[in-house]
A and B are shown apart, each in its own frame.
Chain A
C-alpha cells in the first residue's frame, strides 16, 4: 500500500499536484482547531479590512476575520464531504458486492433500485427537503440525504468487479472451506474493490461539496454554519464585488478551485492506476 503511494507520487505528476493541493487545503482547514475566534460570531473585527499583516485574508462586511472564517468553513465542508463519502461508500460496497456475488434475483432487484436512484434528479429532492425542514436541516441531515443518492454509480462499478471475483479460484476455495457469504465478501472480496472505493471516495467528495456549495449559495442550507457555500452566500448577499470587497470573493474562489482541482486530480490519477491499460500506456509499453 505504501509503495503504491510512493510510486504514484514519483511517476504520476497529476497525483503529486493533487496531493499538494489537497494537503495544503487540509492543513489550512485543520488550523481552525486553533482559531482564536468563534467563526459563528459576527461583528468581532473591523468590517471590510483588506488583507494585511493583522488580517491575512482581510475581514468581511459582517465583521469576521476571513482567515479563520474560511479555515472553519473548509473544515466543515471537508468533514461534510467525508461524511457523505463514507456513508455512501458503505451503501455502495454493500450493494455492489452483494449484487455481484449473490447474483440472480437479488442482483436484478438491487440493480433495478440502483437504476431508479440514478435517474431521479437529486437537486429538486434536496430543495424539497430544505423547503420542508428549513433551518432544522443541519449538515449531518444533509449529508445523510446526499449519501442516499451518492451510491448508485459506484455500486455498479463495484458490482462489475465483484462479478469477476466470483469466478476466481480463491472464491471457490473459500466456499469449499465453508466460509459464510458475509465473511467471503468482507475478507476475500473487499480488499479487491478497495482501490475503486478510494478513487470514488474523492469523486464523491467533489460531488457532495459541490452540491452543498450550490445549495448554500442559493440560501438553501443553515446559513449560520460556516461552510464554503455559506461564505459565498454572504459575500454575494452583501454584493462584495460591487462594493469593492473583492477579497471576500476572490480568496474563497481560489481556495475552492484548489480543493476541487486537487480532489479531481487525485481521483483521476487513482483511477488510472486501477485501470492497468492506461497505466501500461503511461509507461510506454
Chain B
C-alpha cells in the first residue's frame, strides 16, 4: 500500500509539473509575439460593435491587468497566474461581455461527453477485437479486419471525418451532420432532447472511433500474439485451466498493461482529433470554440481554451496512470 502512495505522489508531482509547464508555455507564446494584445483586442472590439465607452474602458483595464504589457515580464507572469487561478481570463470577444471561462465551461460537457464515450468505446472494442484476433491468428474474419484497420489507421482525422461527412451528408443523408442537437428541440432534461443529442453525436463519435480503433486493434493483436507464447500461458494450458480464464485472466490481462500506458500517451492526440471533429460536424464543444476564437482574434478565449485543455488532458493522463498499478502489481513495488 505504501508503494501505491509513493506512486501516486510521484504522479501528482508530474501532473503539477505538466500543468505548470504547459500553461507557462501558453503565457510565453502569447507574450513573445510582437503584437500588443490589448490594443489588438480593443481595435477589433471597437470596429465590430458600438459598445459604450465604459465597457471599452473596463475591458481595457481587465486586459491591461492581465497582459500587463507595460510591466516587466515576471510581473506579467505573476498576474497571469493570479487571474488564472481566480478563473477569470477576461470577457470574450466572441460573445461580449460573457467571460471566456464561462464559454469554456459551457462547451466542456459537449467535448467531454463526446471524447470520453468515444475513447472508452474505441479502447474497449479495439482491444477486445485485437485480443481475439491475436488469439486466433488464422481466423479469416479477423485477418480481413486487420487489413481494414491497417488501411484506415494512418489516415488523418480530418480526411476520415470529411469522408463520413460526404457519405452521410450528401450520398446517404440519414444522420444529422451538424450541430449538437436539432434546432427545433428545446434544451431540457427530457427524452426528446437526449435522443437528439445522441443522434447528433453519432457521426462525430463514429469518426473518432474509426480513426482510433485501428491503433488499439493492431497494437493489441501484436501484444496478444506475443503473450500467448509466454510460459505462463502454455503452462496454464497444460494444467487444463478453463479457456475463458486463460484468455481473460492470463492473456488479455497481461497484454492490457502496455495498452493502458499507450492510452495515457494517446490522450493528447485524441484531444486534437476532437477539435477537428467538432469543426467538421459543427459540434458545440471547446474545439469549435478554439477555432472560432482564433478566427475572431479572441485572445482571452483562446487562452482560456488552451489552459483548460492542457489541464484537462494532464488530468485525464493522471487518472489513467492511477489505474496502472491496479492492473500491474509490479508497478506498486517500484
Contact = CB atoms under 8 A, between A and B. Distances in A.
Interface in B44-96: none
Contacts of B218: 268
Interface in A224-244: 232, 236, 241-242
Nearest to A262: B154
Interface in A98-146: 112, 115-116, 118-125, 127-133
A220 B293 CA distance: 12
B154 A261 contact: yes
Contacts of B151: 261
A218 interface: yes
Given A132-B32, A153-B265, A121 B294 contact: no
B156 A213 contact: yes
Interface stretch (A36-44, A52-60, A252-260): A252-260
A124 B309 contact: yes
Contact of B268 (A112, A119, A263): A119
Contacts of A232: 158
Interface in A69-104: none
Contacts of B119: none
A263 B156 CA distance: 13
A214 interface: yes
A206 interface: yes
A278 interface: yes
A55 B33 CA distance: 43
Interface string B158-173: 1100110010001000
Given A116-B17, A214-B276, A218-B279, A124 B290 contact: yes
A124 B305 contact: yes
B29 A132 contact: yes
A185 interface: no
B254 interface: no
A115 B155 contact: no
A123 B287 CA distance: 10
The 9 closest A-B pairs by CB, nearest first: A123-B272, A264-B154, A132-B33, A121-B268, A210-B156, A260-B154, A124-B306, A119-B18, A120-B22
Interface of A: 112, 115-116, 118-125, 127-133, 153, 206, 209-211, 213-214, 217-220, 232, 236, 241-242, 253, 256-257, 260-261, 263-265, 268, 277-278, 281
Interface of B: 14, 17-18, 21-22, 25-26, 29-30, 32-33, 35, 150-151, 153-159, 162-163, 166, 170, 218, 222, 225-226, 265, 267-269, 271-272, 275-276, 279, 290-291, 293-295, 297, 302, 305-306, 309-310, 313-314, 317
